[in-house]
Amino acid sequence: MGLGLAAAKRDGFASDARAPLNQRPAVTMPSTLIITNDFPPWVGGIESFVSDICDLLDYDVVVYTSGVPGAAASDRERPFPVIRDGPMLLPTPRVATRAASLLRATGATRVIFGAAAPLGLLGPVLRRAGARRIVGLTHGHETWWARLPAVRQLLRRIGDSCDHLTTISSYTERRIASALTPSARRRLLRLAPPVDTERFRPPQAAAQRSAARCIAVARLIPQKGLYTLLRAWRIVIDRAARSHLAPELTIVGDGPQRGLLERTVQELELSKSTRIIGALPRTGVIAQLQQAGVFALPVRTRWAGLNPEGLGLAALEAAACGLPVIVGHSGGAPETVRDADTGFLIPSGDHRLLAERLSLLLENPSLAQQMGSRGRHYVSAHFSMDSARVRLREALEL
């Protein structure tokens, strides 16, 4: 299958969506069509999740996604076709027609929506085009769909049109279920982003790790609480000066808040201890996690409860690398840590308590190591690739 798909890509099937589908070379039939706006080379939790879905299906897929500058090079390296079409896919008649044509042209009989809202509204069209099983992934933003009357009914329609909606946490399941019909609620399926613990693992040599280094990995947006982290870090640095420690903070990520955060670093006189290094591919993130001793991300809920954290893949990946994690009490984030066992939960916005927890772990490397070890076991037990593979394949009847 892999060689057939690779050959199809070389023949031009996966270039973009401008050529009529019926004029492109035929390909070995993939079982599943994935329709998504969230796909590499964009960097983010949903993008990583959808990429992992392709892995879990052994690349027996074709991906229909939006166009991204510079995507052609990474698409050529993938062992399955990637069809790019415009700046964003929306459930319009044009996208519906293209998606249905792609389903028929490839012979795929299963559909996964990388984000159920709003693309799941295409479900009935794809069912008529021959889709036997349809699965919609939900993340965090669907929780506010469930609360707003204007879009709540759309989420209800999406739930009825899919064989399964997946949820990433108990928190998101409760919120999303409230908007669904009884039948759709019964078909909800827990499918959290899995963590590849073979890749995300502690460093082979303990010397690679700096016990005095804290790391945060996130998109630089207000919801992630990085301004709170910087305020806490000022207290940590002041305390460390009295104990002759030299802690370091590395923030991995990019986004609209980067300028504000860089100015805050300067205003709080943290430039000697703090680096904001931008977004990195997964290999780069792993390398940074393996060099750190503590992970902290004080996520928060915004917009009167409409914008919570769905789960927190970055915290799970950090725990898999053997780091104790400190996260804010928002949405499903508490499900990534066992408080006072694998890390700490803190009230969102409480920079003083965050500083206290950070200092405790940075000043006690053995405690941090013990918590990190238990955290890795927790991730392996509850967020493994193997269990996600079984659950996804069962949902698709593969």
| Any domain includes 199 | no
Per-residue pLDDT tens over the stretch 190-206: 999 999 999 999 999 87
Residues 6+ apart with CB under 8 A from 227: 257, 260, 261, 264
| Any domain includes 62 | yes
Measured at the alpha carbon of residue 309, what is the angle toward residues 305 and 315, in degrees to the nearest 5?
A: 155
* Helices first, then strands: H and E counts in the chain: 17, 13
127 and 224 share a domain? Answer: no
237 and 158 share a domain? Answer: no
93 and 112 share a domain? Answer: yes
Distance of alpha carbon 169 from alpha carbon 28, whole angstroms:
36
Q: With cut-offs at 50, 70 and 90, classify the pLDDT of residue 386.
A: very high
378 and 392 share a domain? Answer: no
Mean pLDDT along residues 131-143: 95
CATH of the domain at 232: 3.40.50.2000
pLDDT higher than threshold 80 for residue 174: yes
Angle, helices 313-320/365-382, rounded to nearest 10 degrees: 110
| Any domain includes 138 | yes
Per-residue pLDDT tens over the stretch 90-118: 999 999 999 999 999 999 999 999 999 99
| Any domain includes 228 | yes
What would you report as the CA-atom Rg of the chain, rounded to the nearest whole angstrom?
A: 22
128 and 189 share a domain? Answer: yes
Mean pLDDT along residues 237-264: 94
Q: What single letter denotes the amino acid at residue 230?
A: L
| Any domain includes 121 | yes
- Provide the residue range defining the domain that includes 273: 206-382
Nearest by Cα to 135 from 171, 111, 119: 111
Q: State the total domains in the chain.
A: 2
188 and 334 share a domain? Answer: no
54 and 156 share a domain? Answer: yes
Per-residue pLDDT tens over the stretch 265-283: 999 999 999 999 999 999 9
pTM score: 0.88
- Position 68 scores a pLDDT of 86
| Any domain includes 286 | yes
Per-residue pLDDT tens over the stretch 8-56: 343 334 444 434 443 334 446 799 999 999 999 988 889 999 999 999 9
182 and 214 share a domain? Answer: no
Nearest by Cα to 138 from 122, 158, 157: 158
Chain centroid to CA 267: 31
Distance of alpha carbon 148 from alpha carbon 157, whole angstroms:
14
Cβ neighbours around 201 below 10 Å, total: 15
Sign of CA dihedral 257, 86, 96, 76: negative
238 and 282 share a domain? Answer: yes
Tokens for 158?
């999406």
- Position 20 scores a pLDDT of 41
Distance of alpha carbon 302 from alpha carbon 234, whole angstroms:
24
Tokens for 157?
């329609």
Distance of alpha carbon 31 from alpha carbon 394, whole angstroms:
14
Question: What are the residue ranges of helices labelled H in 107-225?
Answer: 116-119, 123-128, 142-145, 149-161, 170-177, 182-186
344 and 358 share a domain? Answer: yes
Mean pLDDT along residues 366-388: 97
339 and 262 share a domain? Answer: yes
Q: With cut-offs at 50, 70 and 90, classify the pLDDT of residue 84.
A: very high
DSSP string across 72-108 = HHHHHTSSS-EEE-SS---S-HHHHHHHHHHHHHHT-
| Any domain includes 200 | no
| Residues 130 and 103 sit within 8 Å (Cβ to Cβ) | yes
128 and 217 share a domain? Answer: no
Q: What single letter denotes the amino acid at residue 336?
A: T
- Position 23 scores a pLDDT of 39
Distance of alpha carbon 77 from alpha carbon 80, whole angstroms:
9
| Any domain includes 110 | yes
